[in-house]
């Protein structure tokens, strides 16, 4: 696996695919800089070698049309502040404007190209567009895990024009190693905590990780499909009735592979999907009609705690309750605390997938786990066992 440590960038222009698809407020201020900060070590290494950096990214979904609201010019000052170098900006990502900006770029300087997705050819993976991008650098660096599952021009196709001069940036290399540590080389016992609302969205992940894990903790809305399938009463809880056979099949497969599955035994039920609803703790399989399970209960959390604290490798993908509402966030916070404790005791913990990452950030667990993945869809596809096109293009 070639990383930027395998190259000396002195006098070279590095064409770097970063993921600067960051949230902006109404005044175009960046409200979460973590993706820019994550790319900083890669950019700094190239500058310290004596090279220059040409940054390319998308922002939002402009659907192939120029949209001033989605211009990367809005973030150039923020990127400058974080990297510590005044970033130049090119008003296009290909063609004469981009080529002239790159030609004028000196060693130690950084250029940010305009939004790749202002061109239809980016998402189409167009070869001519990819070739035009390739002329803007001497070495291609992919450091955008968040888009590594897309076979777009800048993430995948462009790599073929750098047969011997392509590599992973520090961030993408760290993502690959973190997933590998859970899926291939993790110290046992390995525990996966899967939450979220639907079994259907996690089925391929579950099927892929059954060969890799010792314990599978299931929480969140998925719980009720399993509980109802086993004959329990789930009241008005979210439930995929058409996936109940699938849920039973998963439990059978897990048993055959000696994977211990832990479902909640009690939940905090509410009489409405509302932060101010009436609540009560009930057995997970005895939820009254008109009530719905919205968080894990205390007996459940005690069981989950023991499993997590006895684990050496932990994957957390998905919350165990409706954490966006304060009344139903306690279970998810508790899971974060258990993982924090296990990590302090030497376990390796990886958090990935949109909602669990959001929860980790919201409740201040970012520095208390081993690794927080930056890519939602890319992380999920990795856990499903797929080889991501953006990764394959560098390894090829």
Q: How far apart are CA 261 and CA 270, in angstroms?
A: 26
Tokens of 279: 């609540």
The reply to whether 169 sits in an annotated binding site is no
How many helices (H) and strands (E) are present in the chain, helices listed first? 14, 17
21 annotated as ligand-binding: yes
192 beta partners = 216, 315
SS3 call for 105: coil
* Euclidean distance between CA atoms 140 and 134, whole angstroms: 8
Is 386 annotated as belonging to a binding site?
A: no
Q: Which of these, 38, 4, 36, 40, lies nearest to 20 by C-alpha position?
A: 36
Q: Which residues are 282's β-sheet partners?
A: 267
> Is position 331 annotated in a ligand binding site?
no
List all residues 6 or more positions away from 139 whose beta carbon is below 8 Å from its beta carbon: 7, 9, 12, 13, 14, 15, 162, 165, 166, 167
248 marked among binding-site residues: no
Exposed, middle or buried by CB within 10 Å (0-12, 13-18, 19+), for 310? middle
Is 285 annotated for ligand binding?
no
299 appears as a binding residue in the annotation = no
CA 301/CA 34 separation, integer angstroms: 30
17 labelled binding-site residue: no
Q: How many angstroms separate the CA atoms of 151 and 52, rounded? A: 26
Catalytic residues: 35, 198, 354, 377
DSSP for residue 186: P
288 by DSSP, 3-state: which? coil
**137 marked as part of a ligand binding site:** no
Cis bond upstream, residue 137 (ω within 30): no
Phi/psi of residue 169, nearest 5 degrees: -75, 175
Residue 19 annotated in ligand binding? yes
Is 11 assigned to a binding site?
Answer: no
- Residue 61, marked binder: yes
Q: Is 356 annotated as a binding residue?
A: yes
Binding residues: 19-21, 35, 58-61, 117, 150, 202, 293, 324, 353-356
Binding residues for substrate: 19-21, 35, 58-61, 117, 150
Binding residues for ATP: 202, 293, 324, 353-356
Binding residues for (2R)-3-phosphoglycerate: 35, 117, 150
């Amino acid at each position: 696996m070639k990383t930027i440590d395998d190259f000396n960038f002195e006098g070279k222009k590095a064409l770097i695919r970063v993921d600067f698809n960051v949230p902006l407020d109404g005044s175009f201020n960046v409200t979460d800089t973590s993706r820019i900060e994550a790319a900083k070590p890669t950019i700094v290494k190239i500058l310290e070698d004596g090279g220059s950096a040409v940054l390319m990214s998308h922002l939002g979904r402009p659907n192939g049309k120029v949209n001033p609201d989605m211009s990367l010019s809005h973030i150039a000052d923020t990127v400058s502040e974080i990297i510590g170098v005044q970033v130049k900006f090119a008003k296009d990502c290909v063609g004469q404007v981009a080529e002239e900006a790159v030609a004028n770029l000196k060693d130690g300087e950084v250029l940010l190209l305009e939004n790749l997705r202002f061109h239809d050819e980016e998402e189409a993976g167009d070869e001519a567009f990819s070739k035009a991008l390739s002329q803007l650098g001497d070495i291609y660096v992919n450091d955008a895990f968040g888009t590594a599952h897309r076979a777009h021009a800048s993430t995948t196709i462009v790599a073929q024009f750098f047969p011997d001069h392509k590599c992973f940036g520090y961030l993408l290399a760290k993502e690959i190693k973190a997933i590998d540590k859970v899926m291939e080389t993790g110290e046992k016992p390995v525990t996966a905590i899967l939450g979220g609302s639907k079994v259907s969205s996690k089925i391929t992940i579950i099927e892929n990780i059954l060969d890799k894990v010792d314990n599978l903790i299931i929480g969140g809305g998925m719980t009720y499909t399993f509980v109802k399938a086993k004959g329990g009463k789930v009241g008005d809880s979210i439930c995929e009735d058409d996936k109940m056979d699938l849920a039973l099949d998963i439990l059978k497969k897990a048993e055959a592979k000696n994977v211990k599955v832990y479902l909640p035994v009690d939940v905090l039920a509410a009489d409405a999907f509302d932060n101010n609803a009436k609540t009560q703790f009930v057995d997970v399989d005895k939820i009254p009609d008109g009530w719905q399970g919205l968080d894990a209960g205390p007996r459940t959390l005690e069981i989950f705690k023991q499993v997590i604290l006895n684990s050496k490798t932990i994957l957390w993908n998905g919350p165990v309750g409706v954490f966006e509402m304060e009344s139903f966030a306690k279970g998810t916070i508790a899971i974060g605390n258990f993982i924090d404790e296990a990590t302090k005791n030497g376990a390796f913990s990886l958090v990935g997938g949109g909602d669990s990452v959001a929860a980790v950030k919201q409740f201040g667990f970012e520095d208390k786990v081993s690794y927080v993945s930056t890519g939602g869809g890319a992380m999920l596809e990795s856990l499903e066992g797929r080889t991501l096109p953006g990764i394959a293009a560098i390894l090829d």
